[in-house]
Structure 1
Amino acid sequence: MRHLFYLCLLFHSLLLASFHSTAVSLSAEQAFVADLTRQITADELVELPLQQQSFLLLRREAMTSYTKGTAILLPDGSEHAASPKHIDTLRQQLNDYGWHTLALMPPTMPADIVADDVLADYQQQLVARLNAAQQLAQQTPGVTIIIAQGSSAALLNQLYASQQLTEPAAFIMLGAYLTDTALNRQIAKALATHQVPTLDISHQQDNNQVLSQLRLRRQLVNKHMKPVYRQRHLSGSGYNSDVQQWVVQEIYGWLTSVGL
């Protein structure tokens, strides 16, 4: 009996070790993809090929008799393509306003993003995914707009300033920030120097790095006379459903005001 007990204990330990090994071998992006593949309708799942590896995006068509264009959505580097913080709501509700939506899975954000070589490599991964998504967007009529969140918004903002990405018709930033203070200040400088019409949305409960730079962004935008920029600071959190509906209306209203 004791011998059988030890055999069962050994078998249980081996199972735990095997499970731990599998979990460790999966990247955060792979784990997100596995979850979304189980939860999202199959006709919304698209795997776009790249030179090194493919990546997942979620595609939905406009639900109107007219088409304004395509909204490409990029969540924060720590989130997934159906992020409950704005992205999932926007990718579904913008269809009712004439927009096709493409929600991209971002590359997993590295821990040491402040290192120059790591940052440059991660930005090139973003460029590759955005270029692939924009090529897909060109298959449908209308303009392309970009809605990005958190770290992804901050990095795309810099890529537009350095002209490493094709400029969209409009750029919406949701709580754009980077955790490093020096890099975070560069967001304001980049924002003021590129000419993409920009809506900059933040919340009271956003990261302090977001809130600390809002005044500087306004100052530099005014200094450099950026032609189309609006900053909106809202109450609450991006995870709250009422706030998410507010943001949908803010985006719709602003796009209408700039002719989109």
Structure 2
Amino acid sequence: MSLAIPATAQHRIDDLDALKHDMQRSLRPEQYRTLMMGEQETVVVIRESNQAISKGAAILVGETGKNGASHLGLAALAPYLNDFGWTTILVTAPTLDFEVPEETESENSTSQSPDEPTDTTAADPSSDPNDLPPPNQMIPSYSTTQIISEASFKQQEQDFLLLMNAVEQERMNYPGFALIIAQGTSAAWLAKLYGDGELYEPDAIVTMGINWPQHDLNILVPELLARTPVPVLDIYNQFDSEWTLSTAKDRKVEAIKSLKLHYRQRELIGPRVDRQQYPLLAREIHGWLTYMGW
């Protein structure tokens, strides 16, 4: 007798399989590794350091559900880190189904005056119109709409645990420092897991636009970062979502109040943090690590 797989679980499996096959089709066999994430397979992309002496491994975790090897992930950042002596491990974060209400988009559109542009990229002319924020990031940060159910939250947390434990086994093949660079909601989940002691601690973590797109969770982000037991570089940009920007000051204040060592917050001035900004971001990361003596 076969057991039926719940629809949400099957959807996550299908998404993971699709991402895995996309990466396998677009990469040469020596460029990726297949890891076991519990009973499921996942693919990570390995790029070796370009220096004679490697600093260690930098694990790049993009926004949830984005292909880690695509231009929408952090793949374009990897070569700059390779030049600074890092072996990079590109990871595709687990997918989470946000329960975004249909009225959200209509509320956002009706809140604009007739004279205001409706193009979501108008504020950032350099952005790619095909690279718009996901719907959950477009909900106002003051909204009390619950889009992450308790069951989904626990499942996502478990998925991250399985993923990062598998990636850690691969990272151990590369001696040196362990650096985590995580984006958006992935950064929030990892900050929580490291703060809770659920994962093996890296030597440092870089967060990019950290947030949870739900008010009661997002207000916890400053405390989560402050109690993360490793150095933190907190990167944000004026074109990040309201969820990220609404806690920017609180994140810095909480780190000061908690007497957190080696916390640095930096706003990257200029266009949205993407391929255009990655050379600057890589130098910012390198400068911070050099300051700490790496």
- Report TM bin, short chain: 0.7 to 0.9
Letter in 1 for 2:259: M
What is the deviation of 1:171?
0.2
What is the deviation of 1:257?
1.1
Aligned to 2:93: 106
Aligned to 2:62: 75
SS at match of 1:107: coil
Aligned residues: percent identity?
Answer: 31
Distance verdict in 2 for CA 1:84–1:238, change over 3 Å:
farther
2-side partners of 1:237 and 1:141: how far apart?
Answer: 33
- Aligned partners of 2:46 and 2:90 also within 8 Å: yes
In structure 2, the gaps of 5 or more residues are 1-10, 100-146
Structure 1 length-normalised TM: 0.85
In structure 1, the gaps of 5 or more residues are 1-23
What is the deviation of 1:83?
4.0
What is the deviation of 1:234?
1.5
2-side partners of 1:253 and 1:143: how far apart?
Answer: 15
What is the deviation of 1:51?
2.8
What is the deviation of 1:85?
4.6
**Deviation per residue, 1:183-233 (Å, 9 max, x gap):** 111111111122210000011111111000001111111111101100011
Q: Which one of the candidate residues 157, 160, 167 is aligned to 2:201?
A: 167
Letter in 1 for 2:82: N
2-side partners of 1:26 and 1:115: how far apart?
Answer: 19
Find the structure with the greater CA-based Rg. Answer: 1
2-side partners of 1:86 and 1:214: how far apart?
Answer: 22
Aligned to 2:258: 224
- Aligned partners of 2:67 and 2:73 also within 8 Å: no
**Relative contact order (C-alpha < 8 Å, sep 6+): which is higher?**
2
What is the deviation of 1:67?
1.2
In the alignment, does 2:61 pair up with 1:55? Answer: no
Distance verdict in 2 for CA 1:25–1:151, change over 3 Å:
closer
Distance verdict in 2 for CA 1:26–1:169, change over 3 Å:
closer
What is the deviation of 1:177?
0.8
**Deviation per residue, 1:150-197 (Å, 9 max, x gap):** 110011011111111111101000111111011111111111122210
SS at match of 1:82: coil
Aligned to 2:274: 239
Letter in 2 for 1:48: L
Q: Which one of the candidate residues 186, 199, 211 is aligned to 2:245?
A: 211
- Aligned partners of 1:134 and 1:144 also within 8 Å: no
Please say which of residues 133-142 and 208-217 is displaced more in the overlay.
Answer: 133-142
1-side partners of 2:261 and 2:76: how far apart?
Answer: 29
Letter in 1 for 2:254: L
SS at match of 1:27: helix
Letter in 2 for 1:154: A
SS at match of 1:54: strand
SS at match of 1:148: strand
In the alignment, does 2:220 pair up with 1:186? Answer: yes
Letter in 2 for 1:231: Q
Aligned to 2:32: 45
Aligned to 2:144: none
1-side partners of 2:79 and 2:275: how far apart?
Answer: 16
2-side partners of 1:25 and 1:78: how far apart?
Answer: 9
- Aligned partners of 2:211 and 2:218 also within 8 Å: yes
**Deviation per residue, 1:95-120 (Å, 9 max, x gap):** 11111111112111222462222212
**Deviation per residue, 1:4-30 (Å, 9 max, x gap):** xxxxxxxxxxxxxxxxxxxx9983333
Letter in 1 for 2:257: K
Structure 2 length-normalised TM: 0.76
